[in-house]
Amino acid sequence: MDNKIDVAIKQFLKNYSKEKNIQTKWEEPLIAYADAEDEMFYKLKSVVSQSHAMPRDFLPEAKTVAAYFIPFNKDVVKSNVEGKECSRKWAVSYIETNKLILDLNAFIVNKLQKLGYKSSSIPPTYNFNNKKLISDWSQRHVAFIAGLGKFGLNNMLITDKGCCGRIGSFVTELEIQPTKRQNQENCLYKYMNICKKCTDRCVNNALKVNYFDRNKCYEMCLYNDNFYSDIELTDICGKCLVNVPCSIVNPVKKLTK
């Protein structure tokens, strides 16, 4: 069944750009699964926030949490390299990918429910607290638990297809074999104490090797939202994700092949 879900997700994504009048293009997604009762979900109460939701908050019968990473294509990534502001293409891709995730989740949940399995969709930006600047459902942490990747120095999840993209998730009562989490780091700095390019890329001095100022980071995100006031909410930046070794690949895996 999990292979069928993988196929359905990939096929939906492939058709989405053709069927919708949008400009964003994506690479093939990565998909992983976690046991809804994995003890690491409970650790998020201390690692992320005491108010962090549990899978069964969305679905009491939850047995599996599915997480997937949708990579931006190279044109989107390259567009965001220059300048202080994020590129318009990056901003539009953020908006369109969030819509894609909502539509994809609705499609998969409906498909599973027709097969007799209760499932619940989770919005890509669930319950973000503007004061604490913390989400009550961290897509990155959930994807880490599911085995999609490891965190980099830039606080982003580095997958086998890099960190430039968006993460989605849903929960289901269908029991799926959990994906095995990897032990090896994917960040060159964490793996062998080199690189640190993401800290140099930060345009608002928010990211350091041993320090991250989430207020300064969000300040830059709000600046971009104001800069692109003619389109939907774009409180993003992404400068520390582009023009770095982990943008579109897992640099450690590439290094150790």
Q: Tell me the residue range of the domain where 211 lies.
A: 2-252
pLDDT in tens, 141-191: 999 999 999 999 999 999 999 999 999 999 999 999 999 998 999 999 999
pLDDT above 90 coverage of the chain, percent:
84
CA trace torsion 82, 86, 91, 92 (10° rounding): -30
107 is a domain residue: yes
In this predicted model, what pLDDT tens digit does every residue of 109-141 receive, in sequence order?
Answer: 999 999 999 999 987 764 555 555 567 899 999
Res. 31 pLDDT band, cuts 50 70 90: very high
Mean pLDDT of all residues in 219-244: 96
Total of domains in the chain: 1
Three-class SS of residue 198? helix
In a domain, residue 98? The reply is yes
* ∠ Cα 219 222 225 (to 5°): 155
**Any domain includes 209:** yes
Q: Considering the domain boundaries, does residue 23 fall inside one?
A: yes
Closest-CA residue to 238 (of 30, 124, 80, 106): 80
Rounded to the nearest integer, the mean pLDDT of the chain is 93
Lowest average pLDDT, out of 17-21, 55-59, 64-68, 73-77, goes to: 17-21
In a domain, 215, yes or no: yes
pLDDT of residue 195: 96
In three state form, how does the secondary structure of 38-83 look?
Answer: CHHHHHHHHHCCCCCCCHHHHCCCCCEEEEEEEEECHHHHHHCCCC
pLDDT at 126: 47
Q: Please report how many Cα atoms fall inside a 13 Å half-sphere around the Cα of residue 229, on the Cβ side.
A: 3
3-state secondary structure of 132: coil
Residue 257 lies in a domain: no
| pLDDT attached to residue 194 | 95
Q: pLDDT band for position 241 (50/70/90)?
A: very high
Residue 46 lies in a domain: yes
Q: 3-class DSSP state for residue 195? A: coil
Q: What's the whole-number mean pLDDT along residues 28-55?
A: 94
Answer yes or no: is 206 within a domain.
Answer: yes
